Structure 1
Amino acid sequence: MKNFCYKYNRFLNFHQKYYFQFRKYTNLKSVLMQAENRTYAQAVEGLNSLQSNAAVLKSIGKSNDRNSRSLPEMREFCQKLGYEPHDFDSLNIIHVTGTKGKGSTCALVESILRNFYSSRKESMTNKIRTGLFTSPHLVAVRERICLDGTMLSEEEFTKYFFECWDKLELNNLQQGDEDKQIKPGYFRYITLMAFHVFMKEKVDVAIMEVGIGGEYDSTNIIEKPTVCGVSSLGIDHQRYLGETIDLIAWHKGGIFKANVPAVTIDQPPIAFDVLKKRAKDVNAPFTQVETHTKESLGNINIGLAGRHQLKNASLAIELCRIWLEKHRNIKFSNEKVPQEFVPGLTKVRWSGRSQQLVLEKYPKITWFLDGAHTLESMQVCADWFSEAVIAKMDKSIERILVFNCTADRNGAEMIKQITSKNPYIHFDHANFCTNITFTTNQFKPDLQNNTIRIDENLNFQKTLAEIWPTLIPKSQTSDAHVFPTIQNAINWILEHCKESEREVQVLVTGSLHLVGGVMAVLEIDV
């Protein structure tokens, strides 16, 4: 009996071994066969499946161990795609962090470099091929990865998405991890995909915007960028970066690298000192650039609205100057703004930030869109909006505020920045809604965000509506409305305007997700 059991176990082990080999083979074959007939919708669905929920994000914010594992894990995922981080040195990267304006700075850098040779005879032969990685997106996730100023097409996104997806699947199978489905989270994945796209497309420069912080951010696997930039710092993402400006500055300065120029604009003194020390600790040449005035820019009109863009333009100009000196061997004179930079400064576009537009379908309405989401950025939004509407202060104009922010921010204080900026600017209505864009039957997968927890009872929106009368001057009266979706809030405005003979100005602010949702509802091109 003992001998029989021994032989029977050998028999089972033999067949089990070849069963699993056959299973691995068939799974590998299945993955390879899936590469055909993929759709953009499937790519977005796959990407959304990688989103972390709010509970996981909260645990990350409290875990130092999670931070310490972040970059080693990101490097492992790189290797599974066939890259080593030093491979990305060939992308001649410009790495940008900050609290406010880092996206605008990246957009300015990209536009300056892409248009640099437009006024030169050698423009066709020396044209700079640009790659731009930013976040978040407004309407379509494809906005996050741009080539030569244009976001990836649905076909391009699908192709590159599944090249990365399948390599990770194959790697898991080859390592015997097919049941674990080991993949990076949403932001890590799209970061890896951006590196992959830029490598495959052989861009001359990759402009990479940091997601959150810098020290532990997924983009910080970069080893040898050409130059690093820090835009304006302020208080934001305290759960992940700390409650004070010096702690936040420490994280931002984490992108500095040895012997790589580090450039910033004027900062709060304590933040500047932290950045300077972080640069010194890694032997990074550190520079603070002066902010240009409109006059020192030659009175040109920057393509992005608002006085605050002078800071972002000043930083972008210096980042481009350093890049061109190193990679195009162009030596600039002492002129503050090279003439070749002007086309890029004037042609730059960056949707959803200090954006004013009138749609042909709704000629009575002027839309003011700004994704301000911190107290400091809301102050900037207030300055911009006040300047934009000051020319039309007559009582025949009706104004409507559309607002939402995440519940962990002080919505009342953010709104005060707008309502107290100019007491003569009167909002007749305030619409408070969630960041859910459409009703269920019009769901758009690109706008799915599992990291935001929505209160179905709308308690946060109701609270804002209740305190709205205390946030406006006592001499004014205004109606507050609460809506479950962005679409409901916008539809109310459109219906209201049909019944009104007055011209209407609508300010949408408090969240980039809100602005993106409004653009989706109104079918505004990014």
Structure 2
Amino acid sequence: MSAATSDVILERMMSLHPKIIDLTLDRVWRLLDRLGNPQEALPPVIHIAGTNGKGSSLAMLRAGLEGAGLRVHAYTSPHLARFHERIRLAGDLIEEDTLTAVLDECYAANAGAPITYFEITTCAALLVMSRVPADYALLEVGLGGRLDATNVIARPALTMITPLSIDHEQFLGNTLAKIAAEKAGILKRGVPCVVGPQQEPAMEVIEQRAARLGVPLIAQGQHWHVGQEHGRLVFQDETGLVDLPLPNLPGAHQIENAGAALAALRHLGLGEAACTSAVTRADWPGRLQRLPEGAITRAARGCELWLDGGHNASAGAALGRHLAGLPARSTHLVCGMLNTKDVSGYIAPLAEQAESLTAIAIPGEANTLPPETLAEAARASGIEATTAPGLTEALKGIAAQAPGARILICGSLYLAGHVLRENG
């Protein structure tokens, strides 16, 4: 079958519900029941929520489990270049024929009833993962936690909450405590939860819910510690200390993300081989990624080209810290963002590192922020800013004015996906 086959079915699914995001579990439970409740036939599930780092922590956790010789399913979102990236079956990306068949089956079972794109594709992922033998299934929350379509596992083996910050306020609330309450909705009675570093208001909410449900917390700063010493990652929990290489995923923030993955692996009883694999073999495209040779890099004409899909204030702060630690080089941003994001909060931490910002619209995105609005926010943060009609024009303009510079394309996972598809 052609790659367009699954694309056609996915496009059809987009018309089933007028709202892109509509948080409730009623439609998911209805379809899962029609499908025979596949969520009850999954291998042991590790359910991961968070604002920042959940994807990276999942990637490291998967690398660690696979390094121990285990078969691992994974469900993540959004995809960057192709939908197939969202579903891994026993380590491999889902094949086109398998994806087409399971999407068609879910579409038929839904029988035209209202259901969001994310809900029906999540049901498809759970269905196909229930049919392929594996040792673990890793589920990444799409949005929030309490009412997310992935929150249908009665008793996972483990849950995880990575660092929380303000994001998606229109759906989750405008305070850290409200957001934490939604994220902590994945906690299940008696099921241990690994907790990454949290601000105090978020940690208080997580601890209160954990106490009500009898959830043993495995929390950073209390039950485990992680840091960098002499160019190595040092992790310590109640069972001892592990000295490991630094994560292969770039960025100082990956130390803490690795800590959460290591805490989970150690809780599951896995040893040093799994821990080493977690920090040396993880793959997570579009996050502080140095772009390989391709159509986009050729447009940059010899500049050092990087890509990052972070899009909130915490991601901007992590990116700023990473840029500060790189060898000195003229650094310029090409940025596109959605109009639902905290633009100033994201850009402000980058002001000291970037000499300029070129704002562009995200291709194909109706909710893209107008480039001039983005440029105005950059100027207010002290960055010299301009606009360009597209990515190629932005890259060529920077390369002409600053030959050999470092260019970072940033601001949105949707923009990152466009770059990866176009680069080839």
TM-score > 0.5 by shorter chain = yes
* Fraction of identical pairs, as percent: 26
Measure the CA separation in 2 of the matches of 1:353 and 1:194.
Answer: 24
Shift of 1:405: 1.6
State the partner residue of 1:120: none
Measure the CA separation in 1 of the matches of 2:421 and 2:105.
Answer: 28
> Match of 2:373, as an amino acid?
T
State the partner residue of 2:238: none
Shift of 1:291: 3.7
Shift of 1:479: 5.4
Report the TM-score when normalising by structure 2: 0.88
Q: State whether structure 2 residue 301 is matched by structure 1 residue 301.
A: no
Aligned-partner SS, 1:503:
coil
Measure the CA separation in 1 of the matches of 2:361 and 2:276.
Answer: 40
Q: State whether structure 2 residue 402 is matched by structure 1 residue 515.
A: no
Match of 2:140 among 209, 212, 236: 209
State the partner residue of 1:426: 355
Pair 302,496 (structure 1): closer, same or farther in 2 beyond 3 Å: closer
Shift of 1:160: 2.6
State the partner residue of 1:292: 226
Is the 2:339–2:367 Cα contact (8 Å) retained in structure 1?
no
Aligned-partner SS, 2:194:
strand
State the partner residue of 1:415: 347
Match of 2:78 among 123, 130, 136: 136
Pair 83,464 (structure 1): closer, same or farther in 2 beyond 3 Å: closer
Aligned-partner SS, 2:358:
strand
Shift of 1:84: 5.4
State the partner residue of 2:289: 355
Match of 1:267 among 198, 202, 218: 198
Is the 1:40–1:158 Cα contact (8 Å) retained in structure 2?
no
Q: Deviations over 1:267-287 (max 9, x none)?
A: 111211110111121222122
State the partner residue of 2:179: 248
Aligned-partner SS, 2:63:
helix
Shift of 1:188: 0.8
Deviates more, 1:355-364 or 1:74-83: 355-364
Q: State whether structure 2 residue 325 is matched by structure 1 residue 387.
A: yes
Measure the CA separation in 2 of the matches of 1:320 and 1:467.
Answer: 42
Q: Deviations over 1:9-58 (max 9, x none)?
A: xxxxxxxxxxxxxxxxxxxxxxxxxxxxx643132222233337997357
Aligned-partner SS, 1:207:
strand
Measure the CA separation in 2 of the matches of 1:414 and 1:249.
Answer: 20
Is the 1:92–1:205 Cα contact (8 Å) retained in structure 2?
yes
Q: State whether structure 2 residue 117 is matched by structure 1 residue 186.
A: yes
What is the RMSD of the two structures over their aligned residues, measured on CA atoms?
2.5
Structure of higher CA gyration radius: 1
Q: State whether structure 2 residue 256 is matched by structure 1 residue 311.
A: yes
Pair 517,401 (structure 1): closer, same or farther in 2 beyond 3 Å: same
Shift of 1:340: 3.5
Q: Deviations over 1:155-200 (max 9, x none)?
A: 33223322333344xxx3xxxxxxxx22531111121111112111
1:93-172 mapped onto 2 (5 Å cutoff): 93-116=45-68, 127-168=69-110, 172=111
Aligned-partner SS, 2:227:
coil
Is the 2:17–2:115 Cα contact (8 Å) retained in structure 1?
no
State the partner residue of 1:86: 40
Unpaired runs of 5+ in structure 2?
Answer: 236-242
> Match of 2:119, as an amino acid?
R
Match of 1:46 among 9, 12, 19: 9
Measure the CA separation in 2 of the matches of 1:342 and 1:131.
Answer: 20
Shift of 1:372: 1.2
Shift of 1:339: 4.0
> Match of 2:107, as an amino acid?
W
> Match of 2:64, as an amino acid?
I
> Match of 2:420, as an amino acid?
M
Unpaired runs of 5+ in structure 1?
Answer: 1-37, 61-66, 117-126, 173-180, 333-337, 438-448
State the partner residue of 2:382: 472
Aligned-partner SS, 1:218:
coil
Measure the CA separation in 2 of the matches of 1:340 and 1:128.
Answer: 10
Deviates more, 1:275-284 or 1:247-256: 275-284
Match of 2:367 among 435, 446, 453: 453
Shift of 1:356: 2.0
Measure the CA separation in 2 of the matches of 1:55 and 1:163.
Answer: 21
> Match of 2:168, as an amino acid?
H
> Match of 2:254, as an amino acid?
Q
Report the TM-score when normalising by structure 1: 0.72
Is the 1:54–1:453 Cα contact (8 Å) retained in structure 2?
no
1:393-404 mapped onto 2 (5 Å cutoff): 393=329, 397=330, 399-404=331-336
Measure the CA separation in 1 of the matches of 2:34 and 2:218.
Answer: 37
Measure the CA separation in 2 of the matches of 1:293 and 1:279.
Answer: 26
State the partner residue of 1:436: 363
Measure the CA separation in 1 of the matches of 2:286 and 2:350.
Answer: 17
Aligned-partner SS, 1:392:
coil
Aligned-partner SS, 1:131:
strand
Measure the CA separation in 1 of the matches of 2:380 and 2:402.
Answer: 29
Shift of 1:507: 0.7
State the partner residue of 1:367: 305
Is the 2:306–2:409 Cα contact (8 Å) retained in structure 1?
yes
Q: State whether structure 2 residue 158 is matched by structure 1 residue 227.
A: yes
> Match of 1:356, as an amino acid?
R
Pair 299,129 (structure 1): closer, same or farther in 2 beyond 3 Å: closer
Shift of 1:148: 4.0
Measure the CA separation in 1 of the matches of 2:325 and 2:186.
Answer: 36
> Runs of 4+ in structure 1 displaced over 6 angstroms?
52-55
Q: What is the count of residue pairs matched by the alignment?
A: 406
Pair 344,95 (structure 1): closer, same or farther in 2 beyond 3 Å: same
Measure the CA separation in 2 of the matches of 1:53 and 1:76.
Answer: 15
> Match of 1:77, as an amino acid?
L
Measure the CA separation in 1 of the matches of 2:315 and 2:11.
Answer: 28
Measure the CA separation in 1 of the matches of 2:219 and 2:278.
Answer: 22
> Match of 2:310, as an amino acid?
A
